[in-house]
């Protein structure tokens, strides 16, 4: 029997392992939902996914990549030429500007290729750890950290796995709970569960398979205030 704290819950590392195992059974085929054919397309798609659903991004990228197939084509364009293609994803002016600037930087420093290091990716305009983690893990199989999006932030707090609310601190705390090999899958599985069950405004607690491991579980769905959307800076 696992050790428990004074509230009757196993400590976070043990509970994280159990949650990870249960999520794996619920979502055995979970993977990154974005459509991509090469690391550069994944980088662009991930940048577009900020404050936007992966489904919407996947609707936009076929025409976008048909017009701008690589970093060189984006680098030769002006943001205004990219904006009409990415408008449906929201914050389209910032996104178009970041994609063009990032493409130019990749040509200048990396021969148009997406680098395989966190440090190099963070030099790209508009790219922060969330985007870099997705690209490194999904395109290259490198788990440099845990991707903390809105779903991961919400679920990691509701499940009592972290005490922090800041994404940077949440990532650090989640990284300490599971082996590095599991970091990417932890994020993806939490995202799938956040979309399907543990939603922001009305989580389906009554049918949640993690109820016995969740300190926030309630018999009736919770109502929370709609989340405010901040202007896009770095994703």
Using alpha carbons, list the distances in angstroms from residue 169 to 18, 32, 148, 164: 22, 23, 10, 6
- Please tell me whether residue 232 adopts helix, strand or coil conformation: coil
- In 61-98, which positions are buried (b, 16+ CB within 10 angstroms) versus exposed (e)? beebbeebebbeebbebebeebeebbeebebbebbbbb
Catalytic-labelled residue, pool 95, 149, 182, 184: 149
Q: Which one from 5, 29, 54, 130 is the annotated catalytic residue?
A: 130
pTM beyond 0.85, yes or no: yes
18-72 pLDDT per residue, tens? 999 999 999 999 999 999 999 999 999 999 999 999 999 999 999 999 999 999 9
pLDDT in tens, 132-142: 999 999 999 99
Active site residue 149: yes
Mean pLDDT score of the chain, rounded to an integer? 91
Active site residue 199: no
- Cα-Cα-Cα-Cα dihedral sign, residues 134, 139, 145, 151: positive
pLDDT at 162 over 70: yes
Supply the angle between the helices 183-196 and 167-175 in degrees, to the nearest 10: 120
């Amino acid at each position: 029997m696992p050790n428990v704290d004074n509230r009757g819950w196993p400590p976070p590392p043990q509970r994280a392992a159990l949650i990870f195992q249960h999520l794996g059974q619920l979502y055995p085929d979970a993977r990154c939902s974005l459509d991509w054919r090469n690391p550069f397309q994944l980088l662009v798609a991930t940048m577009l996914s900020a404050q936007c659903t992966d489904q919407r991004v996947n609707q936009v990228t076929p025409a976008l990549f048909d017009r701008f197939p690589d970093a060189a084509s984006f680098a030769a364009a002006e943001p205004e030429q990219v904006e009409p293609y990415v408008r449906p994803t929201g914050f389209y002016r910032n996104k178009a500007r970041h994609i063009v600037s990032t493409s130019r930087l990749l040509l200048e420093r990396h021969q148009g290729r997406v680098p395989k290091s966190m440090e190099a990716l963070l030099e790209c305009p508009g790219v922060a750890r969330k985007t870099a983690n997705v690209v490194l893990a999904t395109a290259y199989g490198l788990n440099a950290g845990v991707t903390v999006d809105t779903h991961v932030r919400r679920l990691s707090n509701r499940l009592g796995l972290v005490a922090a609310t800041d994404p940077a601190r949440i990532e650090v705390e989640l990284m300490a709970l599971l082996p590095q090999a599991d970091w990417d899958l932890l994020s993806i599985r939490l995202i799938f569960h956040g979309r399907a069950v543990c939603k922001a405004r009305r989580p389906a607690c009554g049918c949640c398979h993690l109820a016995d491991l969740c300190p926030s579980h309630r018999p009736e769905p919770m109502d929370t205030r709609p989340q405010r959307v901040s202007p896009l800076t770095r994703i």
